[in-house]
Every structure is written in C-alpha cells, then in structure tokens.
C-alpha cells in the first residue's frame, strides 16, 4: 500500500470498466458511480475500455468524458475479448490502487470503499467473492463448480470459489501483471499466480440495469479451456496415461486372442467388434490430438509476438500500444 508516499499528480484510485455494447448502461453507470467515488475522499480516475462495441457506447462515454475529464476512454480497434480489455485498462491506469468493475452495475461500486479501507490496512489484493449463485441456472452453477474444483486439482494455483474480476489491486500488483507477456490472458489465474497479501470479502450480485449478458455457455467453456491450458500441462499427461491404458488393454486382448486360437482354433472374426474397436481407438486418437492442438495453438499464438490489443482512439489518457506483449 503506497498511499503514504503519493506520487505527484497520480490519483489514489483508478477504476477499470470494460465495455462491450453497454450503451443502455452508460448513463446509469456514471450517475451512480461519480457520487460514490467523490464520497471516498480520494483522487480518482475511471478508465473505460471499449472492446469493439457496435452500438453508441463510445459516443456516450466520450460525452461523459467532456463533462468529467476524470472519466477516460480507451477504444480498441475491434473486439479482443474481456480478458484483453482488462489488460488494456490496467496498462492505462496510473492510480496507486486499481479496482475493476463491470459496466452493468452487477458489481456494487459502494463496495470499492471497503476495498480501499482494507488496502490501507496493508492488503495488496482485495477480492470480492459472490455470496451465492442462486440466481443462475442449474447448468451454469454445476459448470462453475466443476471448473473451480477441476482447476484446483490440476493447477499450481487455486481460485477462490465465486471470485471474478471484481477486485482491488495495489500498484505493485498491477505492475507485475502488466509485465507478463503471455497472450492467453486468463486473468483470474494471473491474479492468483502473482500472489501478494490477499483478502476476500463477500458481496451480492445485483441485477443488470439493462441489456443482456455477453457470456453464454460456449464462451464460458472457451474461457475454462483457456484457463486450464494456461496454467497446467496435466491434460497432456492424462492422455499419455490413457494411451498407455489402451495399449495395455490391446496387448491383453491380443494375448487372449492368441490363447483362444491355440485352444479352440481359428475363429470367424466378428465385424461388429472390429468396427467398435476401430471407432473407439479413432476417438481416443482424435481427442488426444485435440488436446495437443490446444497447447500447440497457444504456442503458435505466443511466438508471433503480436500485441495484445490495438488502440483505435484514447480519450484523456496516453495512447499506449504494447509492442512485445
């Protein structure tokens, strides 16, 4: 916690708000957010990141920027995904403490005040953990619990159950995250990997003010795959083990067939069993190739050294395009 030695001109608090087609929420967001931030009694800035919105989100945020210069906007050239939009926001912040919040007001901005209190007590990461998932579908709750349990078992780090991007980070934590070069930006895993002194606080997820969630089950599935492949090589080892089991089963079956032939003579080969065996082994091979392909695709993405994102316009902050990240 670095508030005791503030840098000249640097705000105490930076708030990162990723946005994608949030036109209906923009006015509600700032109407509630600005009075809350002013009530904290600290200098602040809000860094909005537009992730290639196709509505008038940018125009509305720019209008608020002209009215309140502490509201800033980083407009990306296309949709890069929330993980990279968050990375862009972190790159453009200058606060001694940085909090991340969604634009739909499901994350209560008033809780940031409690985060600041804990940050002043010396915690370098304050994590907001949702109290429950009763409002979600049974399928989504099951999938989320399965992912957290699986990630904890196969990864070198564990994720707090119910933790998301709603959290506050000390500047030193932000600097470490900004220095990480990987393109597969599973932010929840990166937060856990960096460590530092952490504490969790509960919160209740509010209803969206307007619009629909941008995350469907397919996107959540892809995010889960990215998270697991970015933080563990266990899936590769699992398929090595499965391959050994299949090979051992094939050898045992071959010995059984030899013994049976020696005792009973040549048997008429069964067409159905042959087809089942071929299809089973083909399925195992295709799945194992798919797992290898997931890792190989990430290697391919990393070696190209393309930037994480491209900034189209920046309002109120420096137009920063990382070259080698």
pLDDT (0 to 100) of residue 234: 66
Confidence category of residue 324, pLDDT binned at 50, 70, 90 = very low
- Over range 74-89, report the average pLDDT: 87
Q: Would you list the DSSP string of 40-73? A: TTS-EEEEEEE-S-SSSHHHHHHHHHHH-TTEEE
Q: Is the pLDDT of residue 5 over 70?
A: no
pLDDT (0 to 100) of residue 312: 86
Confidence category of residue 16, pLDDT binned at 50, 70, 90 = very high
pLDDT (0 to 100) of residue 323: 41
Q: Which two tokens stand for residue 280?
A: 């089973």
Q: Which two tokens stand for residue 216?
A: 């469907």
Q: Is the pLDDT of residue 232 over 70?
A: no
How long is the chain?
A: 325
From the number of C-beta atoms within 10 Å of its C-beta (0-12, 13-18, 19+), residue 136 rates as middle
> What distances in angstroms separate CA 106 from CA 111, 127, 141, 258, 316, one per listed residue?
12, 15, 17, 66, 26
Residues 6+ away with beta carbon under 8 Å from 26: 19, 57, 60, 61, 64, 103
Residue pLDDT, tens place only, 115-149: 898 988 888 888 888 876 566 556 666 666 666 66
pLDDT (0 to 100) of residue 168: 92
Residue pLDDT, tens place only, 202-220: 887 777 666 565 555 556 6
- Over range 175-191, report the average pLDDT: 82
pLDDT (0 to 100) of residue 245: 73
Confidence category of residue 321, pLDDT binned at 50, 70, 90 = very low
Instruction: Please give the span between the terminal C-alpha atoms of the chain, in angstroms, as a whole number.
Output: 27
Average pLDDT score, the chain: 76
pTM of this structure: 0.69
Percent helix, strand and coil across the chain, each to the nearest 5 = 50, 15, 35
Provide, rounded to the nearest whole percent, the portion of the chain with pLDDT above 90.
5
CB 14 within 8 A of CB 44: yes
From the CB of residue 320, how many other CB atoms can be counted at a distance below 10 Å?
A: 12
């Amino acid at each position: 916690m670095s508030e005791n030695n503030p840098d000249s001109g640097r705000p105490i608090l930076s708030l990162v708000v990723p946005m994608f087609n949030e036109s209906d929420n923009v006015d509600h967001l700032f109407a509630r957010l600005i009075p809350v931030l002013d009530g904290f009694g600290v200098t602040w800035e809000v860094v909005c990141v537009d992730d290639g919105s196709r509505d008038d989100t940018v125009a509305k945020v720019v209008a608020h920027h002209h009215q309140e210069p502490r509201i800033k906007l980083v407009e990306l050239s296309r949709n890069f995904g929330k993980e990279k939009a968050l990375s862009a926001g972190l790159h453009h912040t200058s606060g001694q403490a940085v909090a991340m919040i969604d634009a739909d007001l499901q994350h209560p901005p008033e809780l940031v005040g409690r985060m600041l209190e804990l940050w002043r007590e010396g915690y370098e990461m304050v994590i907001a953990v949702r109290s429950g998932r009763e409002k979600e579908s049974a399928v989504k709750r099951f999938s989320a619990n399965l992912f957290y349990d699986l990630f904890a078992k196969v990864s070198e780090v564990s994720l707090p159950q119910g933790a998301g991007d709603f959290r506050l980070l000390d500047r030193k934590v932000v600097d470490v995250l900004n220095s990480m070069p990987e393109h597969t930006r599973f932010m929840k895993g990166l937060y856990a990997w960096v460590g530092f002194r952490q504490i969790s606080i509960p919160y209740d997820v509010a209803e969206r003010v307007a619009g629909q969630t941008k995350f469907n089950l397919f996107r959540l599935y892809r995010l889960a795959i990215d998270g697991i492949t970015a933080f563990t090589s266990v899936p590769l080892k699992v398929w090595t083990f499965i391959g050994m089991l299949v090979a051992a089963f094939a050898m045992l079956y071959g010995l059984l067939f030899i013994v049976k032939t020696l005792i009973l003579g040549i048997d008429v080969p069964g067409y159905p069993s042959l087809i089942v065996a071929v299809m089973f082994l083909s399925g195992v091979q295709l799945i194992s190739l798919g797992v290898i392909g997931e890792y190989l695709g990430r290697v391919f993405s990393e070696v190209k050294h393309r930037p994480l994102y491209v900034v189209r316009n920046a309002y109120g902050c420096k137009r920063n395009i990382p070259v080698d990240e």
